[in-house]
Structure 1
């Protein structure tokens, strides 16, 4: 470390360092990508060098957000179903309500697929 600042580290030294010469801009980009992945620069570069999949913290946050939307869609579809059962179609055509519920379920399936692709198929 230079400049008298210390980074928090809980990792122990693993062996010998490898020097990699980069521009200031490249160092900044590497630092940002490591932060997005929730990793140190060293850990990030090690994972890349060893071809280890790197999952972005940002991607995992997006999956959590999609899970909330998916739950909301399920609750809305449930309310529509309840309304249809209680009101026997008053104020709306039962076929339209049923079609909307089917579309919600299809959208939920698409959201689940997207979440799976992000979590399981994303590689560094």
Structure 2
């Protein structure tokens, strides 16, 4: 392989390890590697060396939670702005403050869930 056709940022190749597997086991390994976004070699290396293997779906779920967390912050900001402009109209200030506190609690809970998912 010439230098121009090599993949960039690949690790140095070593000696291959042969693993005997049935067709079903090989398909399962391939499926699990795909779920993690890793090559089969990288997946087997990580699993064999007891390194954490995360699903791509888990990382997408954390990203989705981050977007929801941001949406909560924006809603709370709009609510606060509305209160400043329309104080005394609509809801009682105590009810709105209670809702703001609930938003903050939800944001804290979402942040904690995202941290646990990434560990």
* Same fold, TM-score > 0.5, yes or no: yes
Q: How far apart are 1:27 and its partner, in Å?
A: 1.8
Aligned: 1:47 with 2:36: no
* 1:4 counterpart residue number: none
What 5-or-longer segments of structure 1 have no aligned partner? 1-8
Q: How far apart are 1:19 and its partner, in Å?
A: 2.2
What count of residue pairs does the alignment treat as equivalent? 111
Q: Matches of 1:46 and 1:110 in 2, distance apart?
A: 35
Structure 1, 42-51 or 80-89: larger mean CA deviation? 80-89
Q: How far apart are 1:56 and its partner, in Å?
A: 2.1
* 1:24 counterpart residue number: 23
* 2:68 counterpart residue number: 69
Q: Deviations over 1:24-59 (max 9, x none)?
A: 222222111111211111111111111111222221
Q: Matches of 1:14 and 1:92 in 2, distance apart?
A: 68
Q: Matches of 2:88 and 2:28 in 1, distance apart?
A: 57
* 2:82 counterpart residue number: 83
Quick one: higher RCO (CA 8 Å, sep 6+), 1 or 2?
1
Structure 1, 24-33 or 34-43: larger mean CA deviation? 24-33
> Which contiguous aligned blocks of 4+ residues in structure 1 show a shift greater than 4 angstroms?
none
